[in-house]
Amino acid sequence: MSATNQPGSEAQDDEDDYMNMTFEDTQAPKETSLQRTQRLKKEARARGAVKSKAQIAEEEAAARERALATSMLDDPRAKKSKGLAMMAKMGFTGGGLGKKTDDGTPQGRTEPIHLSLKDDRGGIGMDSEKKRRFREAAEEQGIAPDAKAPKLDPDEYRERVRKEREDAKLEQQFFAAQRLAERMDDEQSGEDAGSKADADDDGSGSEAEQKKRPKASHSSKPLKSVSILYRGLVRHREEKERVRRMRYDLEQSLSRLPTYEEEDDDPDYKTALGKAGTVYATAEDLDEEDPEQDEFDALDVRERLERLLKHLREQHRYCFWCKMAYPDAEMDGCPGLTEEDHD
């Protein structure tokens, strides 16, 4: 009896052979209109997205590294290169440049020339020009170009910064004391002048006439007659006012032609409208040198401030730190002259 006629042979043939089964490729589902619209929108957003500078720089760096890592000889376009053909005629077959050694290895460069990217706007040779100027400046100061910079001490740096801030604070206090001393001296001189005028008039004259009396002004007298303690403040204010007046006169003169002049305008009318030239009485010696002022400015700010504070205490019985004037010269209740005494 053959094997095919055995009772279990039909059951064995009906069983599936899972080891040798083949699966037909299923057809991809057709894209719906909604999916197609979403895909197109996504692609449009990707194309229209503006890349940041960091992304652009990263892509450029990746492309540059990829290009440097790829040999130009392997490029299919290299076969049509005229330069490569000329080098092949001269004996170049690839590898490094230069004469080969006894074992056949090239001695020349086998890597591409390193690229040096410029991040600034300086032209070619700008760096070497800066180095040359730096060497010349170092030679003029007697410093070796290759000398190392001295190591900065943190304690010394903190001490220097502290001193600079303290000096700036003292300068501000000095200017405030200058303005105060000038104002108090002017008030005192005005009271003295008023009392002297009253004594000369013996009580005669109306109140309106007394108001018309001219007051003392720094602009009408030489700068050297001003106290040295605040003479620099007055000089700076005079120079600033003169520049402002000159600029104002220039702006007024540019509004009309120099030859234009109205016949009906009288001098008072021109002055009221600001058409007449401005007459400003500056100090007589504003442009002259003042050695006494230069010597005072050369002093340390602490010494200048101390002289101002002594002037306020002696002449006006006023303490700059207490912010008050005392009734007598003893100034009972004031701790002292310096700011540390008032802490």
> 310-343 pLDDT, tens per residue?
999 988 899 999 888 888 888 888 888 888 888 7
Instruction: Check if the beta carbon of residue 316 is closer than 8 Å to that of residue 188.
Output: yes
Flag the least confident range among 31-45, 281-295, 326-340: 281-295
Whether 226 and 276 map to the same domain: the answer is yes
Q: Quick one: pLDDT at residue 43? A: 93
pLDDT tens-digit readout, 202-248: 544 455 444 444 444 455 567 778 888 888 888 888 888 888 888 88
Q: Quick one: pLDDT at residue 175? A: 92
Encoded amino acid at 273, one letter:
L
Whether 283 and 221 map to the same domain: the answer is yes
Long-range Cβ contacts of 278-283 (<8 Å, 24+ apart): 278/245, 278/248, 278/249, 280/219, 280/241, 280/242, 280/245, 281/219, 281/220, 282/219, 282/238, 282/241, 282/242, 283/218, 283/219, 283/221, 283/222, 283/223, 283/234, 283/235, 283/238
Q: Quick one: pLDDT at residue 212? A: 45
Q: Give the rounded percent of residues in the chain with a pLDDT score beyond 70.
A: 69
Whether 238 and 277 map to the same domain: the answer is yes
Inside any domain, residue 118: no
Closest among 237, 340, 233, 339 to 296, alpha carbons compared: 233
Q: What is the DSSP string of 149-174?
A: PPPPPHHHHHHHHHHHHHHHHHHHHH
Mean pLDDT in residue range 278-295? 70
Q: Quick one: pLDDT at residue 191? A: 63
Inside any domain, residue 264: yes
Inside any domain, residue 235: yes
Q: Give residue 188's pLDDT band: very low, low, confident or very high (50, 70, 90).
A: confident
Q: How far apart are CA 340 and CA 317, in angstroms?
A: 19
Q: How far apart are CA 181 and CA 315, in angstroms?
A: 10
Q: What is the pTM of this model?
A: 0.48
Inside any domain, residue 64: no
Flag the least confident range among 35-44, 148-157, 221-230, 271-280: 271-280
Q: What is the DSSP string of 190-245?
A: HHHHHHHHHHHHTT-S-HHHHHTSPPP-GGGS-GGGS-TTSHHHHHHHHHHHHHHH
Q: How far apart are CA 69 and CA 61, in angstroms?
A: 12
Whether 276 and 304 map to the same domain: the answer is no
Q: Quick one: pLDDT at residue 236? A: 87
Does position 48 have pLDDT exceeding 60, yes or no? yes
DSSP code of residue 111 = S
DSSP code of residue 70 = S
Whether 191 and 239 map to the same domain: the answer is no
Tell me which residue range forms the domain holding 190. 154-198+299-343
Q: How far apart are CA 215 and CA 220, in angstroms?
A: 10
Mean pLDDT in residue range 47-56? 89
Q: Work out the widest C-alpha separation in the chain, in whole angstroms.
A: 168
Q: Give residue 141's pLDDT band: very low, low, confident or very high (50, 70, 90).
A: confident
Inside any domain, residue 327: yes
Copy the structure tokens of residue 92: 């170049």
Inside any domain, residue 13: no
Specify the number of domains making up the chain. Answer: 2
Whether 256 and 221 map to the same domain: the answer is yes
Does position 3 have pLDDT exceeding 60, yes or no? no
Does position 60 have pLDDT exceeding 50, yes or no? yes
Mean pLDDT in residue range 269-273? 64
Mean pLDDT in residue range 155-170? 91
Mean pLDDT in residue range 92-113? 67
More confident residue, 46 or 20: 46
Q: Give residue 180's pLDDT band: very low, low, confident or very high (50, 70, 90).
A: very high
Using the CB atoms, write b or e for 190-199: b if 16+ within 10 Å: eeeeeeeeee
Q: Quick one: pLDDT at residue 25? A: 72
Q: Quick one: pLDDT at residue 58? A: 92
Flag the least confident range among 8-12, 56-60, 113-117, 149-153: 8-12
DSSP code of residue 100 = B
Does position 62 have pLDDT exceeding 60, yes or no? yes
Does position 74 have pLDDT exceeding 70, yes or no? yes
DSSP code of residue 74 = G
Inside any domain, residue 96: no
Does position 29 have pLDDT exceeding 60, yes or no? yes
Highest mean predicted confidence (pLDDT) among 79-83, 167-171, 271-275:
167-171
Inside any domain, residue 98: no
Ranges of H-type helices in 2-77: 9-14, 33-48, 53-68
